[in-house]
Amino acid sequence: MDSLFLLVPIVIFFIVCAVKLFFWAVNSGQYDDLETEGRRILFDDDEPAERPREEQKSSATRAEQGEPGDKP
Protein backbone atom coordinates (compact mmCIF):
# COMPACT_ATOMS: atom_id res chain seq x y z
CA MET A 1 0.00 0.00 0.00
CA ASP A 2 2.86 2.36 0.76
CA SER A 3 4.22 1.92 -2.75
CA LEU A 4 0.99 3.32 -4.21
CA PHE A 5 1.69 6.66 -2.55
CA LEU A 6 4.91 6.80 -4.56
CA LEU A 7 3.76 5.22 -7.82
CA VAL A 8 0.54 7.17 -8.38
CA PRO A 9 2.23 10.61 -8.49
CA ILE A 10 4.95 9.21 -10.78
CA VAL A 11 2.34 7.80 -13.18
CA ILE A 12 0.39 11.07 -13.14
CA PHE A 13 3.61 12.95 -13.95
CA PHE A 14 4.35 10.63 -16.91
CA ILE A 15 0.79 10.99 -18.23
CA VAL A 16 1.00 14.78 -18.06
CA CYS A 17 4.36 14.69 -19.91
CA ALA A 18 2.95 12.37 -22.58
CA VAL A 19 -0.09 14.61 -23.14
CA LYS A 20 2.14 17.70 -23.38
CA LEU A 21 4.41 15.91 -25.86
CA PHE A 22 1.41 14.85 -27.95
CA PHE A 23 0.00 18.38 -28.13
CA TRP A 24 3.45 19.76 -28.97
CA ALA A 25 3.73 17.29 -31.87
CA VAL A 26 0.27 18.20 -33.17
CA ASN A 27 0.92 21.94 -32.92
CA SER A 28 4.32 21.69 -34.61
CA GLY A 29 2.85 19.94 -37.67
CA GLN A 30 4.11 16.41 -37.13
CA TYR A 31 0.76 14.92 -38.17
CA ASP A 32 -0.12 17.30 -41.02
CA ASP A 33 0.76 15.00 -43.93
CA LEU A 34 0.47 11.31 -43.15
CA GLU A 35 0.18 10.08 -46.74
CA THR A 36 3.33 11.41 -48.40
CA GLU A 37 5.91 9.65 -46.25
CA GLY A 38 4.11 6.33 -46.56
CA ARG A 39 4.01 6.55 -50.35
CA ARG A 40 7.45 8.11 -50.87
CA ILE A 41 9.25 4.84 -50.18
CA LEU A 42 7.14 2.95 -52.74
CA PHE A 43 8.01 5.05 -55.78
CA ASP A 44 11.43 5.56 -57.34
CA ASP A 45 12.50 9.01 -58.41
CA ASP A 46 12.37 9.41 -62.19
CA GLU A 47 15.48 11.57 -62.28
CA PRO A 48 18.67 10.56 -60.48
CA ALA A 49 20.10 13.03 -58.03
CA GLU A 50 22.69 15.40 -59.43
CA ARG A 51 26.32 14.68 -58.75
CA PRO A 52 28.36 17.24 -56.83
CA ARG A 53 30.13 19.80 -58.99
CA GLU A 54 33.61 18.49 -58.11
CA GLU A 55 32.68 15.01 -59.30
CA GLN A 56 31.25 16.45 -62.54
CA LYS A 57 34.49 18.38 -63.14
CA SER A 58 36.65 15.30 -62.55
CA SER A 59 34.47 13.29 -64.96
CA ALA A 60 34.80 15.99 -67.60
CA THR A 61 38.56 16.06 -67.13
CA ARG A 62 38.80 12.26 -67.51
CA ALA A 63 36.64 12.38 -70.65
CA GLU A 64 38.85 15.08 -72.19
CA GLN A 65 41.98 13.05 -71.48
CA GLY A 66 40.41 9.90 -72.91
CA GLU A 67 40.51 8.00 -69.63
CA PRO A 68 37.74 5.51 -68.87
CA GLY A 69 35.24 6.66 -66.33
CA ASP A 70 31.82 8.21 -66.00
CA LYS A 71 30.62 10.19 -68.93
CA PRO A 72 29.61 13.76 -68.08
Q: Is residue 12 part of a domain?
A: yes
Q: Is residue 70 part of a domain?
A: no
User: DSSP label at 28?
Assistant: T
Give the global pTM.
0.48
- What are the start-end ranges of the H helices in 1-72? 2-27, 35-40, 53-65
pLDDT at 49 over 60: yes
**Using CA atoms, how far apart are residues 17 and 40, in angstroms rounded to an integer?**
32
**Using CA atoms, how far apart are residues 16 and 14, in angstroms rounded to an integer?**
5
Per the structure, the complete domain to which residue 1 belongs is given by 1-27
- How many separate domains does the chain show? 1
What amino acid is encoded at 35 in this protein? Answer: E
Q: Is residue 66 part of a domain?
A: no
What amino acid is encoded at 46 in this protein? Answer: D
pLDDT at 33 over 80: yes
Average pLDDT score over the chain: 79
pLDDT at 52 over 80: no
